[in-house]
Structure 1
């Protein structure tokens, strides 16, 4: 019974938009300066994709 209650509580949190996001996979390169990051909610299975611009050092800066 506690397993069922926990599942209902978790689904309710996701319905409110309070997902528990976890990285589903590593960063995938779409283009040379764009990174694609995939996240999945561990409770409901919903996923989201975020595109970020890769940080490129300026000409005067040295890359570490």
Structure 2
């Protein structure tokens, strides 16, 4: 798992109890925070996360 994906997964685990509608602004903020750290874009962080997440479905 890429470090940026790991960071976002940790964020999602910590906030999994919050409804999607309430969490969406924080998701966007966190994606872009991580993206700046890794010199990429929020959408690329999200795509990498979703690519990883689909491999976790059992």
Q: Please report the TM-score for the alignment, with normalisation by the length of structure 1.
A: 0.27
Greater fraction strand: 1
Higher helix share: 2
Specify the structure having the higher radius of gyration (Cα).
1
Using the size of structure 2 for normalisation, the TM-score is 0.29
Higher RCO, 1 vs 2 (CA within 8 Å, ≥6 residues apart): 2
